[in-house]
Amino acid sequence: MKKFIVSLVLISSLLQARADEGMWLPMLLGQQVYNDMVKRGLKLTKEQLFSVNKSSLKDAILIFGGGCTGEIVSDKGLIFTNHHCGYDAIATASSVEHNYLKDGFYAYNMGQEIKSKLTVQFLDKIVDVTKEIEDAVKGLSWADRTKKMPDVYKTITDKVLDKENGRAGRVYSMFKGNQYLMYVYQTFRDVRLVGTPPESVGKFGGDTDNWEWPRHTGDFSIFRVYGNKDGKPADFSADNVPLKPKHFLPVSIKGIKDGDYAMIYGYPGGTNRYETSYGIKLKNEIENPSLVGLRDMRLKYMHEQMIKDPAVKLKLASNYAGVANYWKFFDGETKQLTKFKTYEQKQAYENGFAKWAIGKTEYANILSDYAANYAAWTPYSKQRQYLNEGIFGSPITAFAAQLQGIEAALTKVGTTDADLKKAVAGAEAGRKAYLEAADRASDEKIVAAAAMMYYNDVDKNQHPVGFFDKIKAEFGDLKDEATFKKWAKNLFDKTLILDDNKWAAFIAKPDANILQADPAFDYGASFAKNYTTKYAPLFTTFTTKNNELGRAYLKGILEKDPVAAAKMYPDANFSMRVSFGNVKSYAPRDAVKYDFVTTSKGLLEKYVANDYEFDLPAKQIELLKKKDFGQYIDKSRNDLIVGFITTNDITGGNSGSPVIDANGNLIGLAFDGNYEALSHKIAFDKDLNRTICVDVRYVLWCVDKLGGAKNIINELKLVK
């Protein structure tokens, strides 16, 4: 452990970003970075931020579900996170009769809290495993190294595996494979829903306001983590008790000012700040436009059905939200990368690197190898996007393709009865889940549109052989939209997947000929096999080579210029990070300046009765018009603050992250970024980047005044 601290602190003390850029490893801040935090206003010691042996801020931060952050806010295991992070659990708990998604929900005692399938993970410790990994793969080619790495990881993590106590290790690659850290987590399996505002509050503004400021969204939900009587992880049980945390965050209702210190802890999912110009070109010209166009189509057809029927909305809500979120993101990302000439900036840096690398055997060919690698893969990139975001963006197609497991069991020599039984059982479970979430009306339109878009936009030499010829022969001209609609209707009418009797007969006596003749299976399997047999190996070669080049390139950058290295830090990879900055207004364009907060006044101005995105509960309108803000009022404005913005550096995975003041108190929850800086996964904009946060006072007002759940308020440690 001591060696780990020495080796990486030296790097971390060098890798300092510009302005507020940087998602720092909190255990490796380095004195220089910590000093910068203090200069910005921090009042806490380094040990209060992160300590191995004592409770610290890091102990209040958790991985929520599979891809968000949450924070402990009471000594009884109460969790705050975003509404969109708890969305699936809320929708799952809801029914048409008890529609918690629509109407909201608060447990007024612990007995009313609702069981979920969620888990939360607390960081226990970190171990440097770089030497162990490098020794295990020493002398291997990159391809062999890549193949062996999962086994090496498993050997390392097996040493800390403790199933009884829910502990397991996870190895993270830092600096593109130049460092390796193992994080040991403790996972708790009994997580219960405590409270959520109505969706009209938690998702106020919908897709229109997504990634936008000013914002008036109450993006929060509340859960509680339980353990057994000994405080250990346990499955759901009435005998379980609320977890006694090592640390929890006090909640400040003092308010904020422009310029106040702000710190965000969490688990940012991924950045690629050291991407090359080749990657940006591919992203801007092919990947992002393809993704945006295909998601736009899917959202259109889902939305048409969701606004017609509350039951359909519940079915599609979680999927729709996930598709919509990054549809707008990738559209904005391309626009910002283009606007700020990121491609040209990368090229200029690479030209300088190439001159430096002349005569250096290890680095001389890196950029030419990058160019060759991208040239080999680029012709197939669009097809992969159209497959993932279009063809398999359809639920029925995605499920139908999974039935290849049964086909393989039926046609492969040497398959046992046990193998076939297992494949059939998996298909049964998959079909049940599919039917629970499926909506034929929207999916049928998605199937037709995705197939036609693929036919028109993807190089015809890459199409599944003969597939579109069959559509033409039976349903008509492939230039006619009506042809694809007729074909899609026939697929849904005749597939055994949607016919209980046909399915039961097939499951009772599986037959490869029957399966292969099924129109849904024929569609899904044709495209899946076309990709896996011809193009997946090319993509594997491309990504493997890119990873090899990325490691060498970053190593070279560190060697080339220690001054430039002072602006570096490891890319986000869903390991715990901390960023620091300030609450701050900004001016995105000429004659426009955005305030650092939004208020209930703006909320009422946006409100449109019965609107899909801008409606609000009648009780909320009444309370706001009366200015019944209680102790949550911002006295400087005589209003209720809804949201605020900071200069912090975050990305996906930080959803639900606590925004913490200089003294370690919770002041808000991070939930979004601003449209003007959506290039942030690739390039941080020091002037325009803002993190959008829901003010904790608005959260508490919704819980207290709107929800009447004073029991939750009483559980918190309020700082006034």
- Give the type of residue at 62: L
CA–CA separation, 330 and 16 (whole Å): 28
What tokens appear for 507 in the block? 């499951």
Q: What three-state secondary structure class fits 26?
A: helix
Pair type for strands 251-252 and 718-719 = parallel
Residue 680 has a CB neighbour count (10 Å cut-off) of: 24
Q: What whole-number distance in Å separates Cα of residue 355 and Cα of residue 485?
A: 56
Q: Is residue 706 a contact partner of residue 623, using CB atoms and an 8 Å limit?
A: yes
Six-digit token string for 160: 């800390």
- Measured between alpha carbons, how far is 623 from 99 in angstroms, rounded to an integer? 23
Question: What angle do helix axes 536-560 and 519-534 make, rounded to 10 degrees?
Answer: 40
Who's near 449: CB < 8 A, 6+ residues apart?
297, 301, 484
Q: Which of 715, 677, 672 is nearest to 220 (CA)?
A: 672
Residues forming the active site: 84, 219, 655
663: which 2 tokens? 């003294």
Best CA proximity match to 391, nearest among 466, 290, 512: 290
- CA distances (Å), 245 to each of 52, 284, 384, 601, 700, in order? 15, 45, 45, 38, 21
Catalogue the E-assigned strands of 46-178: 61-64, 68-72, 78-81, 105-106, 114-115, 120-128, 167-174
Residue 281, Cβ density class (10 Å: 0-12 exposed, 13-18 middle, ≥19 buried): middle
Of the candidates 41, 18, 16, the residue with the CA atom closest to the CA atom of residue 687: 18
Residue with tokens 């006034």: 720
Strand, coil or helix: 607? coil
Classified as helix, coil or strand, 614 is coil
- CA–CA separation, 703 vs 644, rounded Å? 19
- Alpha-carbon distance of 394 to 400, in angstroms, equals 10
The 3 state secondary structure assigned to 362-417 is CCCCHHHHHHHHHHHHHHHHHHHHHHHHHHHHCHHHHHHHHCHHHHHHHHCCCCCH
